[in-house]
Amino acid sequence: MAMLDMAGPSPALKLTALVLLVALLPLSWWWLRQRAASSRARLAALTALTLFLTFDLIVFGAFTRLTDSGLGCPDWPGCYGQASPLGAQADIHAAQQAMPSGPVTWTKAWIEMLHRYLAMVVGLLILVAAVFSWRVRARLPHSPWWALATLAWVIVQGLFGKYTVTLKLYPAVVTLHLLGAVLLLVLLVRQHESFADRPLPPGLPRGPVLAVLALVLGQIALGGWVSTNYAVLACRGFPDCNGAWWPAMDAAHGFTLLRELGRAGHGGYLPFEALVAIHMAHRLFAVVAVGGLVWLMLRLRREPAAPYRRYAGLLAALVLAQVATGLSNVVLDWPIAAALAHSGGAAALVGVLSSLLARLRPAAGPVAARAAQPA
């Protein structure tokens, strides 16, 4: 059988070599374009590239969930102990023959492994950025703390990815994996802004942005809980739900966190009313989150500096897109393109708010401030 332990050197080495080979493509592109730039400019470009790939990883992770490919390869980090589905064809074929509509098929195996490859490439880029930041720390206007924190968190995120598979899509773990990816995005935005050093003119305090970012993260957590429990279609119709303005709901079972997929906390099957409660919580909190975003947009538009108004325009476009894609998930029975756009829009909202928050700071850090003082 190809179901081998990944401790064997051959599959592990093949997987490592494959990821290194793929990672060389973006790293080579970055180095060739930035080889004549300063250390800070090179780090800003590398974090921007990593941020772009992390956003892609979040969207592809949503695609993996939406296509039920999370268990396309039921072990970790390889596929039936192999570096790719090519070496596990016999096991995949046997699993597909035993259960044609089950979680393991040739297509789902490739989707799951491509997601893992991209995650490993992102992790490697974060490692390179952390090492480079530490080596040139004397030439940076700040400490490499954000780069090191990002490296530490991507390791934690890798463990979430492992247990997502080994615990068979345990809803709480899958939701934490999604939130971990969003937090990784926040850390990368903050890291990039620390290298770019583009402070906004004084005006808006950080408090309102932090509050709205917390609302958006709460809504993403609820959206992840909806997705991981397959509760998107628990409500048909809008603005009502299954023909009722306040349908029968079972929040106690729906928000029991320590339970297996499709199971209630006591071990029985999760009642349909629990799925309705999960869906309705996401709908109702969306009103709160959108209200907070609209308030922040109006607050930004009152600032005289043009960058604030640009942030207001970005948030307005993203909120409109989120409302449109969220409604289409329900009204059009969850088309995959709209669902992916909804996940990507949520990540983009977090990125824009994190960028705004990071730029609300003095132009220079303490090291640069001391260096600028006259002797």
Quote the crossing angle between the two packed helices 106-135 and 39-66, to the nearest 10°: 160
Assign 263 to helix, strand or coil.
strand
Assign 244 to helix, strand or coil.
strand
193 catalytic, yes or no? no
Q: Which amino acid is at 176?
A: L
Helices and strands, counts by H and E, the chain? 12, 0
Q: Which of 112, 193, 260, 303 is catalytic?
A: 112
**Chain centre distance of CA 120:** 14
103: DSSP letter: S
CA distance between the termini of the chain: 72
DSSP track, 328-343? HHHHTT--HHHHHHHH
Cα separation of 206 and 357, whole Å? 6
Q: Is 63 exposed, middle or buried (0-12, 13-18, 19+ CB in 10 A)?
A: middle
Catalytic residue numbers read 112
